Amino acid sequence: MATVAVPKFHKNFINGEWVEARSGRSFENRNPADHSELIGIFPSSTEDDVNDAVDAAKAAYAKWRLVPAPKRAEILYRAAETLVKRKEDLARDMTMEMGKPLSETRGDVQEAIDMTYYMAGEGRRLFGQTVPSELPNKFAMSVRDPLGVVGMITPWNFPMAIPSWKIMPALICGNTVVIKPAEDTPLSTYNLVQILTEAGLPVGVVNVIYGMGPDAGAPLVAHDDVMAVSFTGSTDTGRLVNQACASSFKPCHLEMGGKNIILVMDDANLDLAVEGAVWGGFGTSGQRCTAASRVAVHKKVYREFLNRFAQRVRALKIGDGLDPETEIGPLVNETQLQTVMKYVEIGKNEGTRLVVGGHRAESGRLATGWFHEPTIFADVNPKMRIAQEEIFGPVVALLPFDSFNEALEIANHVNYGLSASIYTRDVNLAYRAMRDLETGIVYVNAPTIGAEIQLPFGGTKSTGNGHREAGTAAIDFYSEWKTLYIDYSDRLQRAQMDTTEHS
């Protein structure tokens, strides 16, 4: 007789211990490819749990900030080594709770590995400046100081990569952390923090609270002892986070929505552009803030591109991400699926031409998951809602244009400014695009996805508020400058006033 697996009950991680939510409430984590499969049960935290976690982080900060950065780096390096060893298991866990194919979740874990190694390297840098003073016998320099307790709220589409983008630079700068991961993907954050703990991270330096945004996220953002907040999610929620931080002048990093575009010029390598549009539009089932949900194509090659693109997309295999043949996994939950279906109806009602897909995928084994067909709308007007609003699903709008200037106008005429790309063999157009596209990231002859961790990641307009993830830009957010003047002249010297005197 077969035995039924007992669901694994998880707890919050506060002050080095796994503890129940004070409310006693919990929520389920289910497999989006088969929502009858329960991955685990997680605590549904409230303000009381947030307070406990922040208290622990605040107490740990007093010692952690004094640990030399190279020693903090050694912990991160050990964690990276463990991530490498457990990569396959971590990727499988992520596919089961988030849905994207195993090839993609391996990449997600690799991004966490890359970020952890990178920030470990920064432990022996954290550069400041030394500059000559205008006065004699005076030394002038700047150093980086940590902020204190940092609150983090992370999304479900990159459930290990994005937490690592936030946690690792915060730690290397000497901060302590309270993180609330998305309720759809709590297991991956559990795995990441477990590995940091095994690597020797001191008690209270990283704390995890699970739960819903209004119950756990909001009190974390508003807590007086949280000195900075980093949020990745929707623009609407990001606006609320920003408003909550503004009253106390709390530094706030926002990484929000996108309505990204691929421009295909008439001289483009069409085979390459088609593959880029397929990967950019339908990778992670379109559930990326950098997804290429718009593809603008020069009218001279529009029909040929559309035919090739449609043929390629019709052949994509939908299914469970653990199946090595799967190219399109499920949406993360029923709400996201319903959002995609709503926008498909909006597109139809706006008078666009539905070329591929357009329906929920529910035949055979797909019936127990949240699947949607990869969908292409052709002949889309740039002002239509499906060309303006973030859908966050496997829906791509094709827009024709006559000239580069028109393409540029289409690209920039949205509220978001995260990522854009251009396919062309004309180096002059490529450089004009890099200069004139109003986005934080620009690709040439590559899709709008594929950022690397050693460079800044983020966008303009309603995508962000000026801060950046990754690279040394992340260190700029998780530290603050302290300027130091050391006067060894043994007399009063007045800057800007005694600069003509010499000794």
289 is catalytic: yes
* Rounded-to-integer distance, Cα 424 and Cα 270, Å: 9
CA–CA dist 409, 382 (Å, integer): 9
- DSSP code of 59? H
Q: CA 286, CA 391: separation in Å to the nearest integer?
A: 8
Closest CA to 106 of 120, 86, 80, 79: 86
Q: Report the distance separating Cα 341 and Cα 357, nearest Å.
A: 11
Rounded CA separation 213/158 (Å): 17
CB 306 within 8 A of CB 297: yes
Helical spans, DSSP H, in 247-293 = 270-282
- 245 included as an active-site residue: no
Measured CA to CA, the distance from residue 19 to residue 9 in angstroms comes to: 11
Query: Which candidate in 111, 255, 373, 390 is catalytic?
Result: 255
Task: Work out the angle at residue 311's Cα, subtended by the Cα atoms of residues 305 and 314, and round it to the nearest 5 degrees.
Answer: 135
The tokens for 111 are: 């991004």
Query: Catalytic one among 289, 327, 390, 469?
Result: 289
Please list, in sequence order, all residues whose beta carbon lies within 8 angstroms of the beta carbon of residue 292, skipping any fewer than 6 positions away. 260, 261, 262, 276, 277, 280, 281, 396, 419, 421, 447, 448, 449
Structure tokens at 225: 């002892």
Of 176, 175, 385, 189, give the one whose Cα is nearest residue 294: 385
CA 93, CA 35: separation in Å to the nearest integer? 15
Kindly list the catalytic residues. Answer: 255, 289
